[in-house]
Amino acid sequence: MDAIVLDGEQRPTLAVTRSLGRKGIRVAVGAEKEPSLSSSSRFCSRSFVYPSPYEDPSGFMDAVMDFTARYRHSVLFPMTDVTLTEILMNRSMFPENIAIPFVDYGTYSQATDKNKLYMLARDLGVPVPVSFLSTDHDGQERLVETVRDSGFPVVVKPSLSKIRTGIGWIDAKVQYARDERELREILSREMFRQYPFLIQKRIEGPGVGIFLLMDKGEVVGKFAHRRIREKPPSGGVSVLCESIEIPSQALQDAVKILAHLEWTGVAMVEFKIDREDNVARLLEVNARFWGSLQLAISAGVDFPYLLYRMANGETIERADGYTVGLKSRWELGDFDHLLIRLFKHSPQLNLQADHSSRTLLVKEFLLDFFRSGVKHEVMQMHDTKPFIHELKGYIRYIFH
């Protein structure tokens, strides 16, 4: 079977393209423009362009349907929340010979909607940060009073990170409030007046990702990493991360949630280790491939190939072992992290209390170019064109 991978400008798409291409599988890459980061790879055998799923969901679906109609017996990999949602909502439109190795839309929504996820976590006894759901309170004034009594700082999270509207999609970003004034200012915005959200006490401690491949609620593959540097520095996309031994409590809770949902496919369950009591507290579930996918592959758990084989109906041996202590670095993302830290004051960045000094950060940034245990995510000597493509786009962005 061939593979069709969407969202060609995303780094996880590049990781999937390289993973499957190395196995001799023909990989077609779809994106909003040509060339894309992933279609630049020598492991991409064919590429195609579709309208933006953010701005023209129906045009996107028409283009994907038209392209997949030319492929027989292929596996389709949507790589972002937006494309995966569109595909799952229209799953019945695809012929049976196109395998879509993800759960149904209802199960996907249960995991990705933070309000639904936190209600499920409470029912299952999975630790979460102190949380206040907008849907549990009769009006914002009552919610603000409850948060004020609990204390600050807090994190304000839209229930969905991407929200579908009648004409497309909008980004819903996490916000930080250090006091009641900042919280009221955030909640006055249309986003939080129109859509569900939750407010959480901010947790100090390291972030941990539990990565799982499941088959009808049973674990097939597992992996874990810790975030070292992120963009933005207060918390976001991992730009430097390290493979670690899987924390037992976090693994148990991640499996508990996904097993309850009878999960099939991949998912990343994100926790933060609360420094006050050393408890792993659930943050969110990414019900798709994740940004640091290349680290798992480099460490020895090839999630894309395992999922591809599952989609083909093969019996998969459980993938447990991997190299611990390996680091993966998104080069230009790490450079952005450095620039943000150097040119913005710490109070603007909502940094954790134990953040590195600027001097130490510069030293670590430079040394990571020479450490053998640090693998570069995009820049790989056997496949250099994706990095050149990304660097050109970065330079264009800086000058324009």
**CA atoms of 225 and 328, how far apart (whole Å):** 10
Q: How many CB atoms lie within 10 A of CB 364?
A: 16
- pLDDT for residue 82: 97
pLDDT tens across the length of the chain (400 residues): 899 999 999 999 999 999 999 999 999 999 999 999 999 999 999 999 999 999 999 999 999 999 999 887 899 999 999 999 999 999 999 998 999 999 999 999 999 999 999 999 999 999 999 999 999 988 899 999 999 999 999 999 999 999 998 888 999 999 999 999 999 999 999 999 999 999 999 998 888 999 999 999 999 999 999 989 988 887 778 999 999 999 999 999 999 999 999 999 999 999 999 999 999 999 999 999 999 999 999 999 999 999 999 999 998 888 879 999 999 999 999 999 999 898 887 666 666 666 778 889 899 999 999 999 999 999 999 999 999 999 999 999 888 7
For residue 389, what pLDDT is reported? 97
Radius of gyration from C-alpha coordinates of the chain: 21
Helix (H, G, I), strand (E, B) or coil at 116: helix
| pLDDT at residue 350, as a whole number | 67
Amino acid sitting at position 229:
R
Residue 347: what pLDDT? 64
Query: Given this model, what pLDDT does residue 119 score?
Result: 95
Cβ atoms within 10 Å of 286's Cβ, excluding its own: 18
Contact between 60 and 51 (Cβ < 8 Å)? yes
Q: What is the pLDDT of residue 348?
A: 65
Q: Contacts by 145-154 with C-beta closer than 8 Å and gap 24+?
A: 147/180, 147/183, 147/199, 148/180, 150/201, 151/201, 152/177, 152/178, 152/179, 152/180, 152/183, 153/177, 153/178, 153/179, 153/201, 153/202, 153/350, 154/183, 154/199, 154/200, 154/201, 154/202
Interatomic CA distance for residues 268 and 289, integer angstroms:
7
Buried b (16+ CB within 10 A) or exposed e, 60-92: bbebbeebbeebeebbbbbbbbbbbbbbbeeee
Instruction: Give the integer Cα–Cα distance in Å for 111 and 109.
Output: 5
- Kind of pairing between the strands at 2-5 and 27-31: parallel
Please give the pLDDT value at position 346: 66
Burial class (CB in 10 A: 0-12, 13-18, 19+), 245: exposed
Place of tokens 């819903």: 172
User: Which domains occur in the chain, in start order?
Assistant: 2-100 (3.40.50.720), 104-122+203-400 (3.30.470.20), 130-201 (3.30.1490)
What pairing do the DSSP bridges indicate for beta strands 327-329 and 131-133?
Answer: unpaired
How far apart CA 386 and CA 307 sit, in angstroms, is: 24
**Do 137 and 146 contact (CB within 8 A), yes or no?**
yes
DSSP tag of 152 = S
Three-state DSSP at 284 gives strand
State residue 278's pLDDT score.
93
